[in-house]
Structure 1
């Protein structure tokens, strides 16, 4: 009976020894081992041995990249506008020993530094600068976090501001300004289009005049050609008037018309008289 009892106790002790000395560390994790209350070594992933009764695993954590979500916080800009801002921080433990022994709660410490740095950076900017310098703010936050956490055995990989919420009155003013700028841009584009259309029309008319002058074998700047253009314009105008619903019959003395055309052309003696027969 005593032999069975001794065997049972020995088996229990052996089982306890094996169970407490053999540890499996998962991939992506690391474990800190203490011997008699003092840090001894860091266990990497795999099957590891720990001395029973003398050593214990004090801490196990992941060394994979992790995400810290910073909830919406109230920050005040340099021109006293209160904004709601949230951010996200990507960080990773690179030295498990320092991350555990150098700081009480590394994630909470990172959160505190982010909030402090966020208020400091945005507080130095005007409201209008916040959106335009968002990338610069992210880089400034990353630099401050990297400097502050370098002794903690962690690495802040990147910091990103996610949302910037403006007060309703400010959003309404920004929307009104956006609409005004859009309308102004539309007017500029319309004016530019009308300008281009006018230039195209003028170019087409100039090309038509040049072709007509070549057809009549006249110089485009000659008085005879000018007389022809004015007479053509006069005939076209009267034709349009006759086609109008409100058109009226207009009688004009050919001699008066000739004199008027002559005065328009400068009263040149060489100008043709429209009253004279060919």
Structure 2
């Protein structure tokens, strides 16, 4: 009732008519009207409102009938157009959302309907805003709440999802086994490489040890020969000892030769059957072997003796 004074709440707009004709728009606050002349024809809330879209059936591109519902969020932006552009803006937006949703679902297959819900929501919002622009009301967003496929299709989808999960599990198991085999093979490979390197190092060290041992033996033999040579050339007793050693070896060798054959072997020469001549021959050989080597710097005579010595030796 118009009593002359009216208070408009916050986030609201009132449409005032004078004698049935639009007069002015009342904004939030206190306003003064002429009783019986001015009349508040429409009131609009400028807040965002949620409209529930009831269940409806739609046919997808692959001819599957589904039941779908959603929620539509709208807001009045122009109270004048919302009052005179459409009879009931909220009902008009709800019906427009239903028809737009059925139209967009007919362009998608069932699988894409589940996968591209965000894209489908944006398409529906754009179509609604384009159609509702003259109504002074704007669609903020649209959210698909539930999608109910037929019972047979739902069972098939469940079986498909279960098969897909089993497939992923088998793939993960096979990849794990493959990685395990690769790790084992890499371990064997590294072990063989380390073993071959260790064997190589061991052989090298062993060869070096044998070479060092041979060098040490040769050095010892050389040093012993040097000592024997010095003892023979400088010491008479040393020459006597060498003579005795050569004599022992001569007799020992002769004894081994006799023991291994069925024949009797004696040194040749005059009086070869006499044992004394055999011993004398051994002593003469030992004496020649232990005589010092003449030096060539002493003269021609020494050189001749040296040549005679070498030929006798």
What TM-score comes out, normalization by structure 2 length?
Answer: 0.62
CA distance in 2 between counterparts of 1:131 and 1:23 reads 51
Residue 23 of structure 1 and its aligned partner are, at CA, apart by: 0.3
Alignment of 1:155-174 (within 5 A): 155-174=138-157
1:40 and 2:34 equivalent?
no
1:61 and 2:37 equivalent?
no
1:102 counterpart residue number: 85
1:85 counterpart residue number: 68
Whose helix fraction is larger, Structure 1's or Structure 2's? 2
Unaligned runs of 5+ in 2: 203-313
1:183 counterpart residue number: 166
2:114 counterpart residue number: 131
2:9 counterpart residue number: 26
CA distance in 1 between counterparts of 2:170 and 2:36 reads 84
Runs of 4+ residues over 3 Å off in structure 1: none
CA distance in 2 between counterparts of 1:167 and 1:140 reads 25
Residue 218 of structure 1 and its aligned partner are, at CA, apart by: 6.6
CA distance in 1 between counterparts of 2:116 and 2:41 reads 44
CA distance in 1 between counterparts of 2:148 and 2:85 reads 36
1:117 and 2:105 equivalent?
no
| Deviation per residue, 1:30-85 (Å, 9 max, x gap) | 11111111001010111111112211111212111111110111111122211110
> Considering only aligned residues, what root-mean-square deviation do their CA atoms show, in Å?
1.6
CA distance in 1 between counterparts of 2:158 and 2:143 reads 25
1:193 and 2:176 equivalent?
yes
Relative CO higher for 1 or 2, CA cutoff 8 Å, sep ≥ 6?
A: 1
Secondary structure of the corresponding residue to residue 97 of structure 1 = helix
Larger displacement relative to structure 2 (123-132 or 137-146): 123-132
Secondary structure of the corresponding residue to residue 217 of structure 1 = helix
Secondary structure of the corresponding residue to residue 135 of structure 2 = coil
1:206–1:218 CA distance, 2 compared to 1 (3 A)? farther
What TM-score comes out, normalization by structure 1 length?
Answer: 0.70
CA distance in 1 between counterparts of 2:44 and 2:164 reads 54
1:213 and 2:196 equivalent?
yes
How many residue pairs were aligned?
202
Residue 188 of structure 1 and its aligned partner are, at CA, apart by: 1.2
Residue 186 of structure 1 and its aligned partner are, at CA, apart by: 1.2
CA distance in 1 between counterparts of 2:178 and 2:62 reads 42
